[in-house]
C-alpha cells in the first residue's frame, strides 16, 4: 500500500478527486484553502494581497499497482495547465487497520 499526497492550485477544485475516482481510488482526505509555495517553479499561493490564490491538498492510500496510473494522470493534468501547478508524492505505508 502507498500513500499519495497531492498539492494543487484551488482552481482544479474537484477535478483531482474526480480523476482519482475514475482511476478506481474511492477514499481520500481533502484540505481546502491551504497556503504554500512550490520548491521549483510557480508562484506562491498565500491568500494575501500580493499572492491571493490558495492551494488544496488530498491524501489518499492506494494499492501499489494504482500508483503509476495516478501519478501519470496527475502529470498529464499538470502538463496541460502548468501555470496552475500540481505536485504528488508517494510513500510506502508499513501498517494500517
User: pLDDT tens digit string along 17-65?
Assistant: 999 999 999 999 999 999 988 877 778 888 889 988 899 999 999 999 9
pLDDT(71) > 80: yes
The CATH number corresponding to 2-38+46-92 among 3.30.390.30, 3.30.70.1140, 3.40.50.970, 3.30.70.120 equals 3.30.70.120
- Please report the pLDDT score of residue 46 as a whole number: 87
Phi, psi angle pair for 54, to nearest 5°: -130, 170
pLDDT(82) > 90: no
Tell me the pTM.
0.91
pLDDT(12) > 80: yes
Amino acid at each position: 500500500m502507498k500513500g499519495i499526497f497531492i498539492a494543487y492550485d484551488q482552481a482544479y477544485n474537484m477535478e483531482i478527486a474526480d480523476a482519482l475516482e475514475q482511476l478506481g481510488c474511492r477514499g481520500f482526505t481533502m484540505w481546502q484553502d491551504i497556503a504554500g509555495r512550490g520548491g521549483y517553479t510557480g508562484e506562491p499561493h498565500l491568500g494575501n494581497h500580493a499572492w491571493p490564490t490558495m492551494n488544496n491538498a488530498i491524501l489518499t492510500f492506494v494499492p501499489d499497482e494504482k500508483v503509476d496510473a495516478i501519478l501519470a494522470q496527475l502529470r498529464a493534468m499538470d502538463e496541460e495547465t502548468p501555470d496552475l501547478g500540481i505536485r504528488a508524492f508517494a510513500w510506502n505505508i508499513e501498517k494500517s487497520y
